[in-house]
């Protein structure tokens, strides 16, 4: 009798646990839905008022005069992100090649904790470093204010290094060693085997590393604010100031109200859509590799 | 990895000179990439240490924040409270979700695929979007204002995918024999998971939690408009649980505000040193946990 009750209690407990755990798993679905919902609901009125084309393509951002065009910020995000990739990707991929194919075990064991530390350093610390080191360097050697596209690109290039290195290294390590050995057997030397056989074999993984770096550069806020100058105009040169989408939100959200505030949320929505595209690209790359 | 690092075959003296030169160039490139990374990291750390360590004065650690003495103690306390509260929310949910995905769900079910996709989406969302969302939901819609609670909830969402993913990997690394052992002794699924699987996955889960803690400590963009920047320790003594609705700043926000004001650069350097030390300590902890995990699963 009591045994039957025990079994039933047990089944009840198992069922409750399963339901609870499923609910925990569902949290991320709910979270994404809520983020989409809140960004959408809070930006649609502004978009309807300003006009989508005017908002995306307008080149004047002057909230005090009722002008809300984020085109300069979209261009700014593209410039800064592209610059960051130009700086960070070659260094990061080559470092990954070094770690995977050239470094002695001891050297790799020394460098990897450094890369992990680089990944953990908060972005304000990077921003601070950029402000007191990179910005003055640009100002004294190249002219201009120093707060510029170039400074932001270099700083973000450094910041995406750990992402690029760790992902690219994993991809390189995953290339079967028989590829490398086959190249050696055909008479290629070590360098040629690595660069002509191992690296191309890891291409899709390396591409994933680049796209992850792109996502990180595009979404970075605080470090960019501290070194980019933040003028809401399309920069005329590498040394000109620039404002990204992320910076636009963080700079003005503190005091914005009404339409201005909604326009900033809409800026966030545009950024969110861009990031979703990047995430989808990463997913597609991963699926392509699995197939 | 070991099989590919520099074998004797690369030294063939009969190779044509031109080819040797291009090989040397390629090797040089790889070394240069590594050198750039190491030098960047080195200069950053050295620069912050050289400029910051001399300013780690006792007055910086006095309890009260004033205009003359920008003590970092309230911010340090704020960091710990904020990160602690965020993890308190995110760890149970994240680990629970991972347990469901690995131990309970049918493989290939649509629900699981959907959870995976949304978790990856969450992982890619920039922190400023989380800040925006937290402001709209917790600060405005729920009326919590700029507060510890709003900030912690926002951070919890932000680190949830990190915890989920690392916990999932840790659970997947547990050998099936453990589960079979549990079932074989007559335990139910819940007991098997709780007594056999989770303990052996614990170091891996811990490594993920430490990673998440690091992200909480370094975050600014998600907190500016959810937790605010008031340099005070939330008043739990006076107002009890209502202290959760007090605004407070974390160390990273503190550093950002100091740099923005531009009046206390020395203290900013010192704050950066404290942040760096925290991150380095956490990294060491995480890799120790990960090493323990590897050893454990090798048994």
| H or E segment and range at residue B41 | helix B17-52
Contact B211, B166 (CB under 8 A): yes
Taken in order of first residue, the domains within chain B and their CATH numbers are 71-298 (1.10.3720.10)
First-to-final CA distance of chain B: 23
Measuring CA to CA, which residue among A129, A151, A156 is closest to residue A141? A151
User: CA angle, B139 as apex, B134 and B145 as ends, to 5°?
Assistant: 140
Mean pLDDT of all residues in A78-92 = 96
Q: pLDDT by residue (tens digit) across B42-88?
A: 999 999 999 988 888 887 777 677 766 778 888 888 899 999 999 99
List the 171-190 stretch of A: residues with Cβ below 8 A of B: 173, 177, 180-181, 184, 189-190
Report the Cα B157 to chain-centroid distance in Å: 13
Minimal Cα–Cα distance from A262 to chain B, Å?
A: 11
DSSP state of A67: E
Neighboring chain B residues of A117 at a CB cutoff of 8 Å? 41, 45, 279-280, 283
**Listed range (A78-87, A126-135, B55-64, B106-115) with the worst mean pLDDT:** B55-64
Q: Indicate if the pLDDT at residue A251 is higher than 70.
A: yes
Tell me how crowded residue A114 is: count the other CB atoms within 10 A of its CB. Answer: 17
Measuring CA to CA, which residue among A244, A213, A217, A215 is closest to residue A228? A244
Torsion region of B147: left, alpha or beta (phi above 0 gives left; psi -120 to 50 gives alpha): beta
**Cβ contact A35–B125 (<8 Å):** yes
Residue B266 CA to residue B52 CA, distance in Å, equals 7
Residue B63 CA to residue B72 CA, distance in Å, equals 8
Give me the total of CB pairs closer than 8 Å, taking one residue from chain A and one from chain B.
289
Residue A221 CA to residue B220 CA, distance in Å, equals 9
Minimal Cα–Cα distance from B46 to chain A, Å?
A: 11
Measuring CA to CA, which residue among A94, A220, A103, A106 is closest to residue A164? A94
Residue B94 CA to residue B161 CA, distance in Å, equals 7
Whole-complex ipTM: 0.90
Residue A208 CA to residue A229 CA, distance in Å, equals 31
Residue A150 CA to residue A240 CA, distance in Å, equals 8
Spatial CB neighbours of B69, under 8 Å, sequence gap ≥ 6: B59, B60, B62
**Cβ contact B287–A120 (<8 Å):** no
Q: In a 3-state reduction of DSSP, which class is residue A221?
A: coil
Q: In a 3-state reduction of DSSP, which class is residue B222?
A: coil
Mean pLDDT of all residues in A100-115 = 91
Q: pLDDT by residue (tens digit) across B190-247?
A: 889 998 899 999 989 998 999 899 999 999 999 999 988 887 777 776 666 777 888 8
């Amino acid at each position: 009798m009591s045994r039957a009750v025990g079994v039933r209690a047990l089944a009840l407990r198992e069922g409750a646990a399963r339901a609870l755990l499923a609910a925990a798993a569902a949290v991320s679905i709910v979270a994404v839905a809520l983020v989409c919902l809140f960004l959408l609901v809070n930006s649609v009125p502004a978009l309807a008022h300003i006009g989508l084309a005017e908002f995306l393509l307008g080149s004047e951002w002057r909230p005090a005069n009722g002008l809300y065009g984020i085109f300069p910020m979209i261009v700014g995000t593209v410039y800064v992100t592209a610059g960051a990739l130009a700086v960070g990707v070659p260094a990061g991929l080559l470092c990954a090649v070094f770690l995977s194919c050239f470094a002695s075990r001891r050297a790799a064991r020394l460098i990897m904790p450094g890369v992990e530390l680089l990944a953990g350093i908060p972005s304000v610390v990077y921003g601070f470093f950029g402000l007191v080191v990179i910005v003055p360097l640009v100002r004294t050697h190249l002219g201009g204010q120093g707060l510029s596209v170039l400074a932001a690109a270099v700083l973000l290039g450094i910041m995406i290094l750990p992402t690029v290195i760790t992902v690219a290294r994993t991809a390189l390590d995953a290339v079967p060693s028989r590829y490398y050995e086959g190249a050696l057997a055909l008479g290629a030397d070590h360098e040629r085997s690595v660069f002509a056989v191992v690296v191309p074999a890891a291409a899709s993984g390396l591409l994933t590393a680049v796209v992850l770096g792109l996502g990180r550069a595009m979404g970075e806020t605080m470090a960019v604010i501290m070194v980019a100058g933040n003028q809401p105009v399309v920069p005329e040169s590498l040394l000109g100031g620039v404002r990204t989408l992320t910076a636009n939100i963080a700079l003005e959200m503190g005091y914005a109200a009404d339409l201005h505030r909604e326009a900033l949320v809409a800026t966030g929505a545009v950024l969110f859509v861009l990031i979703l595209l990047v995430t989808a690209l990463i997913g597609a790359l991963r699926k392509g590799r699995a197939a | 990895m070991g099989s590919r690092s520099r074998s004797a075959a690369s030294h063939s003296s009969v190779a044509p000179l031109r080819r040797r030169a291009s090989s040397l160039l390629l090797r040089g490139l790889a070394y240069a990439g590594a050198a750039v990374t190491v030098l960047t990291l080195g200069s950053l750390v050295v620069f912050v240490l050289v400029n910051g360590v001399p300013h780690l004065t006792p007055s910086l650690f006095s309890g009260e924040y004033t205009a003359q003495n920008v003590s970092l103690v309230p911010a340090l306390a704020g960091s710990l409270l904020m990160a602690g509260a965020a993890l308190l929310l995110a760890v149970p949910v994240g680990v629970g979700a991972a347990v469901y995905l690995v131990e309970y769900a049918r493989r290939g079910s649509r629900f699981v695929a959907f959870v995976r996709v949304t978790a990856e989406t969450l992982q890619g969302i920039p922190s400023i979007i989380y800040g925006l969302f937290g402001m709209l939901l917790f600060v405005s819609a729920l009326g919590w204002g700029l507060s510890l609670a709003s900030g912690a909830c926002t951070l919890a969402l932000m680190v949830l995918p990190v915890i989920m993913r690392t916990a999932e990997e840790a659970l997947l690394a547990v050998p099936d024999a453990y589960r079979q052992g549990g079932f074989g002794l007559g335990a139910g699924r819940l007991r098997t998971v709780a007594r056999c699987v989770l303990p052996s996955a614990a170091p891996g889960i811990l490594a993920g939690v430490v990673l998440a803690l690091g992200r909480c400590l370094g975050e600014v963009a998600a907190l500016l408009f959810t937790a605010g920047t008031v340099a005070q320790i939330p008043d739990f003594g006076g107002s009890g649980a209502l202290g959760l609705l007090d605004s407070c700043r974390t160390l990273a926000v503190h550093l950002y505000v100091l740099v923005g004001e531009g009046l206390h650069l020395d203290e900013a350097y010192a704050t950066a040193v404290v942040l760096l030390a925290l991150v380095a300590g956490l990294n060491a902890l995480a890799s120790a946990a990960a090493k323990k995990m590897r050893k454990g699963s090798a048994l």
